[in-house]
Structures are given as C-alpha cells and as structure tokens.
Amino acid sequence: MKIYTKNELLDELKKIRDKGWIKNARYGNVGGVGNTLEDLLGIEENNLPLANASEWELKCQRADTSALTTLFHMEPSPRAVRFVPKILLPKYGWKHELAGLKYSANEMSFRQTINGAGRTDRGFMIKVDRVNRKILVSFDYTYVDNRHKDWLNTVASRVGLAELNPQPYWGFDDLCHKAGTKLLNTLYIEADVKEIEGEEYYHYKKIMVLQGFNFENFVREIEKGNILVDFDARTGHNHGTKFRLRQNIFPNLYSVVEEV
C-alpha cells in the first residue's frame, strides 16, 4: 500500500477529478461512490494511508442525495439511567410493525429521528440549552398527530403526558469531545452520479480541505435542524443513538474550508 503525504493525496484526487465520469467499481454496493474512490487511490476501506492519518479523514458523498450521514454514536446522559431501553422504549414506544411476524407478539419499537427546528408527529424534538450547556430531548403531547391518538392514550396511561422527567441530554463538554474526536480534519469529496445502461458512474468534481472542527458551528446546525438525533430501538435490540447530518452541511462544521 502506498503511503501518501497530504499534498500527494490531493494531487491524486485532482487527477481522479480530471478523468471525468468513472464507472462504479462496486456494482450493487450502496457505498459504491466511496468504495470506488478508495479503489482508485489503492487504499483499504476506512484506512487512510497518510503519514499523519490520525489527524485526517477522507469522506466522499453523492452530491444529489437526501440521505443523512451518520457522524457518530452517543447515548444520552445520565448513562446509568439507560434512557433508550429503560424509559423511551417501554414508556413511549409502540408496537413494532413486525410484532407477531418476525418478532414476538409483544415486540415494541422506538424509532424517531428528531431535530432542533421542529417536533416530530409524535411530539419529540431536540432543545439546545445554552445556559446549562446541554442538548435535551423534549416531548410535548400537543404536537402529536391525530393518527397517533391511540398510541398517545397508551403513553398517558403508562407515564402521563408531561415533559420527559428526567430529560435525556448530552452535555456540551462530552459532546464536544466526542465530535472533536470523530470529526477530524477532513478531505471532503462530492461526486455527481449518473446511470448509463443500468450502471452507475461518478464524477468526483468537488474536493475540499476542511480543518478545525468548530463546536459552536456544530451547535448552531443542531438548532437549525441540520444535525439530527436518530433513535432506533426495539425490545430485542437497541441499534444505538446516532448523530446524523443533512447533505452538504459537512463543511459548515469547520473553521477553515478550502476548495481545491
């Protein structure tokens, strides 16, 4: 495997950009846009061969997708409470769509993708508390859509309709450490995608160097609804709580953004 300096890797990326449209090397792989780029660079998946690789990450995204990008996993505090399996799932969950089919008849689900700009149709959202330096999960039953009326009645009988108490949260300091560790300085590539005779082709047209993760920008994007929290739990398994990002927002998280 070739070991690149940062400038050498940028030169290789520019050569790939200048080639124009390149056929997907991983047919049928939803991550083909990133995997094809790694193949072109001759590098192993998620293993950036830079001399200072611990400080840099390579990220590649489709330019035309609405899919969310997972930034990292982080369960809410206090961790000892185990909010998702012990409170949100049993007290605010609903019958799993595959209960009695793939899973037991009593299988429950709590799947919500929530943000700071508005509430879901089940009344959940994120609130930024700058005074106490926390990101809080909030519930307000008045925002629950009428089609979830039966579910809301079960919530009322299980736990009542007041605000979550205690409220799950992420402290600014813990979140800053986690995000700062995961969101390294990044070589960020956007690719146009087109299909020719059933095959995907990519044009890796935009190359950006992103440096200096900025936590204030991170919090601001939470408030705007561009960073979301994704809960995905059922009775038999908690798939983990994820912080996820809307498309084209990634550069906003950095202090220095340079297009190559």
Spatial distance between the Cα atoms of 116 and 134, rounded to a whole number of angstroms: 13
Asked if residues 242 and 73 have their Cβ atoms less than 8 Å apart, the reply is yes
10's enclosing H/E stretch is: helix 6-18
Q: How many CB atoms lie within 10 A of CB 99?
A: 17
This prediction has a pTM of 0.86
What pLDDT band is residue 130 in, cutting at 50, 70 and 90? very high
- Give residue 48's pLDDT: 66
| Cβ burial 232-257 (10 Å sphere, 16+ → b, else e) | bbbbeebeebbbbbbbeebbbbbeee
Rounded to the nearest 10°, the torsion over CA 39, 45, 49, 55 is 130
Which of 10-19, 38-47, 86-95, 122-131 bottoms out in mean pLDDT, i.e. has the lowest? Answer: 38-47
- The distance of Cα 145 from the centroid of its chain, to the nearest Å, equals 25
Read off the tokens for 80.
């000892």
From the CA atom positions of the chain, what is the Rg in Å? 21
Closest among 142, 137, 143 to 125, alpha carbons compared: 137
SS3 label, residue 229: strand
Asked if residues 228 and 69 have their Cβ atoms less than 8 Å apart, the reply is no
Distances (CA, A) of 121 to 53, 115, 242: 43, 12, 20
Segment 230-250 shows an average pLDDT of: 92
Look-up: residue for tokens 């979140």?
A: 175
- Give residue 175's pLDDT: 96
- Give residue 28's pLDDT: 63
pLDDT tens for each residue of 135-194: 999 999 999 999 999 999 999 999 999 999 999 999 999 999 999 888 888 889 999 999
